[in-house]
Amino acid sequence: MRLEPVYGPHPSRCFGSSLGLDPLNFTVKCPLSCAFCPIPVKKSSLKKYSPGELEMLVEESISERELRLETLYIDGSADPFLYDELPELLGKLKSLAGKYGFKLALKTNMYFARALSTVLEAVDLLVVPFYIADLEWSTMYSPAHNLNLSAGEYYSRLASILSEYKSYADKIVFDVYVGRVGLESNLSAYLDEYVHILLYKLRPRKGFIKTLDRPVRNFDLKPVSKSVLGRISEKLVEEGVEAVECSRKSIGVKAKSKRAFIEVYNHIIRKPLRTTEITGLYGDYGIIAIESLVSRKLARKIIWENELFYIPSG
C-alpha cells in the first residue's frame, strides 16, 4: 500500500479540522519511541518528497477535496526537524496558508531543532509535547541509545532554547498530554513532579491540556478523568499560564473522497480511527474502504476503552 505524506483531515481536539503533513513519510526511522506516540506501527518507505512536491500534494488535497481547514499540522512518522529542507518547505506552506486561510502548526520535541528563527517566523504555532503519566521519563520518551540524553539534560536544553527564543513565546505552545497506566490515585506524585518541571523549568506561556482519546503506542496507557485535567489547568492558571482544555468536537469536516482506500489507510497509519470518524470524514466509501483493508489484512480492528478502532496491521 502506498505511503503518502498528506493525511486526514483529522478532527483534532486542539486544532480543529486539520490536514496532516508528514514530510518524512516514514523515510527516516524515528529515534524516539514515545509511549504517547499516535503511530500504531512502524513502517518504512524509500520515497522522499521535495518541498515543491509536498506543497503540490497539500494544495491538490485541499482543492480537489474542497477542504475547509483550520490547521495544517506538520507532524508524522518522525520529528519534522529531521526533514533537511524544512525552512524551504515552510516558506512554501506559508504562502498556501495565506491563500487558503489556515494556521500552520508544527509539532516537535525540540531534540533536533535547527534554523529555529526561520521556522518560528514561518509557523503560527510550534507545538511541544509534554507527557504526564505514572511512568518514568525514559519510559515515556524512550530515546535511542545514541541520543544519550537524560531527563534533566533534555529539560535543561529545552529550557535554554525557550529562553533564547522568548520573543516567540506566544507561538510556542505546550501540548500537555496526560494518561495513566495504573489507578488514577497513583498518578498524583508523578503529576506534581511533571507539572513542577513544566511550570518552573520550562515556564510556558500557553498549554493545551488533554488526555488520550484513542489508543497510543503504549497500549496500557488509558485516559484520565476531567478532574485531573482540571487540576493541571488550575495549577497552570495560578502561575499565569494560559491553559486550554481540548475536548472532542463533532467531526464536521467531511471531505470529498476520491481515493478512500488510500486516504483512509494513510490516516490510520498516523492515527487510529473509530467507525464514526471514518464515516464522518470519508462517508460510506470510507467504511467500504476500511472493511476492504481489514479483509486484505492491511488493517485490523481493536477494542480500546470499550470502543472499536481501526489500526494498520503489522
Residues that bind ligand SF4 (CB under 6 A): 30, 32-34, 37, 39, 77-79, 109
Residue 74: CB minimum distance to ligand SF4, A: 12
In the complex with ligand SF4, the residue whose CB is nearer, 208 or 285, is 208
Residue 96: CB minimum distance to ligand SF4, A: 23
In the complex with ligand SF4, the residue whose CB is nearer, 35 or 253, is 35
Residue 213: CB minimum distance to ligand SF4, A: 16
**Cell numbers 483550520 label which residue?**
70
In the complex with ligand SF4, the residue whose CB is nearer, 21 or 34, is 34
Q: Residue type for 118, please?
A: T
Under 8 Å CB-to-CB from 250, ≥6 apart: which residues?
11
DSSP 180: B
Percent of residues in the chain assigned helix, strand, coil, to nearest 5: 40, 20, 40
Residue 291: CB minimum distance to ligand SF4, A: 28
Closest of 154, 206, 220, 203 to residue 175, by C-alpha: 206
In the complex with ligand SF4, the residue whose CB is nearer, 64 or 220, is 220
Residue 164: CB minimum distance to ligand SF4, A: 22
Q: Can you tell me the distance from the alpha carbon of 133 to that of 305, in angstroms, rounded to the nearest whole number?
A: 17
* Element housing 232 (H / E): helix 226-238
* Element housing 288 (H / E): helix 275-295
List the 16-21 sheet strands across, edge first.
6-12, 16-21, 71-74, 103-107, 125-132, 172-178, 206-211, 242-245
DSSP structure string for 140-155: HH---GGG---HHHHH
In the complex with ligand SF4, the residue whose CB is nearer, 78 or 86, is 78
DSSP 202: I
Q: Can you tell me the distance from the alpha carbon of 140 to that of 120, in angstroms, rounded to the nearest whole number?
A: 27
* Helix, coil or strand: residue 106: strand
Residue 34: CB minimum distance to ligand SF4, A: 3
Residue 183: CB minimum distance to ligand SF4, A: 25
Under 8 Å CB-to-CB from 262, ≥6 apart: which residues?
1, 2, 4
In the complex with ligand SF4, the residue whose CB is nearer, 42 or 68, is 42
In the complex with ligand SF4, the residue whose CB is nearer, 37 or 241, is 37
